[in-house]
Amino acid sequence: MKKLISITLLYLVFSLNASADNSYFIDFNKILNGSKSGAQVQKNLQNKLKAETVKYKQLENDIRKEESEIISKKKVLEAEEYKKKVQALRKKVADLQKNKQSAYNNLAKSRDDAKKTLIKAVNPIIKKYMEENNIRLVLDKKSVILGDTTLEITDQIITILNKELPSIKIN
């Protein structure tokens, strides 16, 4: 019985060691942010975010000015007219908030779409790399607690990705 257990343990150790020899890991975040196409998408999205932020800050400032004007004319205007102007201002504020939220949601959707496109492009590259280099297992770096840095293939994948997908079109 002891001999059977010993043989089983030896078999498990050798099989785990054999599979570990063909196991590598990649850093998906580095691929998403460090590749040419990923960096280009990040830059475009940041520029769009900055433009939207500036646009909505200006619109908010315009509404604040309008609010100040309405408040300063409160004593001059009739109650009914003042009430109409306040309601119109509230509607503008609500529309602005809705449009702002919609714009930011569209940016988030664009980011997610670009990420999905990049991942779809990376998967066949990884698969081909695995076949060419006789790799049996590739893990995401986030899942690896501790590993030899020579087992990381992120830079090789980025190099191939840069050649095959230099840019991604975003909406």
Contacts 24+ apart (CB under 8 A), 15-21: 19/136, 19/137
Residue-level pLDDT at 96? 94
Q: Say if residues 85 and 70 touch (Cβ distance below 8 Å).
A: yes
- Looking at residues 23-33, what average pLDDT do you find? 86
Structural domain includes residue 7: no
Residue-level pLDDT at 49? 93
Structural domain includes residue 85: yes
Question: How many domains does the chain fold into?
Answer: 1
Structural domain includes residue 5: no
Structural domain includes residue 66: yes
Name the burial class of residue 31, with classes exposed (0-12), middle (13-18) and buried (19+) by CB atoms within 10 angstroms of its CB: buried
Residue-level pLDDT at 19? 47
CATH of the domain at 46: 3.30.910.20
Residue-level pLDDT at 5? 52
103 has pLDDT over 70:
yes
Structural domain includes residue 171: no
108 has pLDDT over 80:
yes
48 has pLDDT over 80:
yes
Structural domain includes residue 11: no
Residue 51: give the domain boundaries.
19-164
18 has pLDDT over 50:
no
Q: Say if residues 138 and 24 touch (Cβ distance below 8 Å).
A: yes
Structural domain includes residue 72: yes
Structural domain includes residue 68: yes
Nearest to 140 by CA among 40, 32, 19: 32
The pLDDT-based confidence of 171 (bands split at 50, 70, 90) is: low
pLDDT tens profile 57-80:
999 999 999 999 888 888 888 888
8 has pLDDT over 60:
no
- Looking at residues 123-144, what average pLDDT do you find? 87
pLDDT tens profile 78-99:
888 888 988 999 999 999 999 9
